[in-house]
């Protein structure tokens, strides 16, 4: 990016109410078959419009074609039985009924390449596409086939790499892997987590990013955050490893969080995508607040390596709130950009 402090959303945006019920995760689709396909892509075009009008520099699909950032990808893979469900604990935080891995996992065809081509056609700005990370994927499944979290993660990493190459061919400029599980499973992170992430992004010529956060602004996550104490130092586990990795960009949560901003120093040399928008509340940040959050990071990251973003996806928010937060993000980054130049 030639622009200083380029702005982008992390991934998801709320969907239009004609497509699925808003302010709800896993909200069922309201359309079916051909109408659903057309509706999803129309919603994606609207999401591009909203981001462009807000003044964001890097455009995402807003995850308008997915019901959920992890589940939808897995639904397109072979080897997973969605009718056979078991209850497991997600990220050590809440119980959920999840599908079962019953055989070798496989990808018959690209899951998102057609959606990405539409995104490419809808904007001239750089585009970013998010995929769920291997560790986050295995954490939403019951495995009755490999019976090894590491082996299943490795299989998913191989599949993700195929998908990432299709997305790159569709014109995606930044491929982002979402790994909120990196803030929870520190032993696995060190044993194979970062290696699986590098496997998923191996051989790509486009930029690669990893997004690690404390989750959507839903109750299970805000309750968990309340137990983490005065300072959230979870990033100290992953950042030194990521600093040594092949990943170009690291996306983290910052505004209204208890993450000590100096942890960013552990990433020195990498591009940092800083969360300057809170996604756990409806209050709209002022541009000055956004600029202040971004400014606080400058002692720890070179200014040409700082991107401005949200803390996480905005799917659970009201549409109007998400729009205003995107405007605040663009205006806040603009304030600091003028100050620096
Ligand atoms: Zn997130």
Phi, psi dihedral angles at 271 (to 5 degrees):
-80, 140
User: Which has the higher per-residue pLDDT, 115 or 220?
Assistant: 115
Percent of the chain exceeding pLDDT 70 equals 100
Q: What is the pLDDT of residues 181-200, one digit of tens each?
A: 999 999 999 999 999 999 99
199 domain-assigned: yes
State the pLDDT at residue 222: 86
26 domain-assigned: no
DSSP string, 170-216: TT-SEEEEE-GGGGT-HHHIIIIIHHHHHHHTTT--SEEEEE--S-S
What average pLDDT score do residues 259-267 get? Answer: 98
User: Which has the higher per-residue pLDDT, 57 or 341?
Assistant: 57
* CATH code of the domain containing 266: 3.20.20.210
Q: Ligand 1 centroid vs 16 CA: distance in angstroms?
A: 21
- Determine what percent of the chain falls in helix, strand and coil, rounding each to the nearest 5: 40, 20, 40
Q: Ligand 1 centroid vs 312 CA: distance in angstroms?
A: 4
Domain of residue 98: give its range.
Answer: 33-340
Interatomic CA distance for residues 312 and 278, integer angstroms: 8
Interatomic CA distance for residues 132 and 70, integer angstroms: 5
1 domain-assigned: no
What average pLDDT score do residues 23-29 get? Answer: 86
Q: Ligand 1 centroid vs 213 CA: distance in angstroms?
A: 5
Q: Give the total number of structural domains in the chain.
A: 1
State the pLDDT at residue 198: 98
Q: Ligand 1 centroid vs 251 CA: distance in angstroms?
A: 9
180 domain-assigned: yes
Interatomic CA distance for residues 235 and 65, integer angstroms: 30
State the pLDDT at residue 248: 98
State the pLDDT at residue 301: 98
Q: Ligand 1 centroid vs 341 CA: distance in angstroms?
A: 31
157 domain-assigned: yes
State the pLDDT at residue 274: 98
272 domain-assigned: yes
The single residue listed with the structure tokens 């359309």 is 31
**Residues that place a CB less than 5 A from ion ligand 1:** 213, 312
Is a pLDDT exceeding 80 seen at residue 2?
no
111 domain-assigned: yes
Q: What is the pLDDT of residues 64-84, one digit of tens each?
A: 999 999 999 999 999 999 999
Is a pLDDT exceeding 90 seen at residue 218?
no
Interatomic CA distance for residues 282 and 284, integer angstroms: 6
Q: Ligand 1 centroid vs 123 CA: distance in angstroms?
A: 24
16 domain-assigned: no
Q: Ligand 1 centroid vs 34 CA: distance in angstroms?
A: 31
Q: What is the pLDDT of residues 276-311, one digit of tens each?
A: 999 999 999 999 999 999 999 999 999 999 999 999
């Amino acid at each position: 990016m030639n622009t200083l402090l380029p702005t982008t959303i992390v991934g998801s945006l709320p969907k239009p109410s004609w497509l699925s019920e808003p302010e709800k995760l896993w909200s069922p689709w309201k359309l079916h078959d051909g109408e659903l396909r057309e509706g999803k892509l129309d919603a994606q075009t609207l999401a591009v419009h909203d981001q462009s009008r807000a003044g964001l520099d890097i455009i995402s699909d807003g995850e308008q074609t997915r019901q959920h950032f992890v589940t939808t990808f897995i639904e397109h893979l072979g080897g997973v039985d969605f009718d056979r469900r078991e209850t497991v604990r997600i990220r050590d935080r809440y119980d959920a009924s999840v599908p079962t891995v019953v055989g070798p996992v496989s990808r018959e065809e690209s899951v998102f390449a057609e959606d990405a081509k539409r995104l490419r056609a809808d904007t001239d700005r750089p585009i970013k596409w998010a995929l769920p990370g291997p560790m986050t994927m295995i954490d939403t499944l019951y495995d009755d086939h490999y019976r090894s979290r590491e082996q299943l993660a490795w299989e998913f990493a191989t599949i993700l790499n195929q998908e990432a190459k299709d997305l790159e061919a569709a014109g995606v400029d930044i491929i982002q892997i979402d790994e909120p599980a990196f803030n929870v499973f520190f032993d696995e992170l060190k044993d194979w987590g970062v290696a699986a992430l590098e496997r998923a992004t191996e051989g790509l010529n486009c930029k690669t990013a990893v997004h690690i956060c404390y989750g959507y602004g839903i109750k299970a996550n805000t309750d968990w955050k309340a137990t983490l104490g005065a300072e959230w130092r979870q990033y100290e586990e992953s950042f030194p490893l990521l600093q040594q990795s092949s990943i170009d960009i690291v996306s983290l949560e910052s505004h209204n969080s208890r993450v000590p901003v100096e942890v960013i120093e552990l990433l020195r040399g990498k591009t940092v995508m800083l969360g300057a928008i809170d996604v756990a509340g409806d209050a709209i940040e002022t541009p000055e607040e956004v600029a202040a959050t971004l400014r606080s990071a400058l002692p720890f990251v070179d200014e040409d390596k700082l991107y401005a973003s949200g803390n996480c996806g905005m799917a659970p928010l009201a549409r109007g709130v998400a729009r205003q937060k995107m405007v605040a993000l663009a205006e806040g980054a603009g304030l600091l950009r003028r100050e620096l130049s």
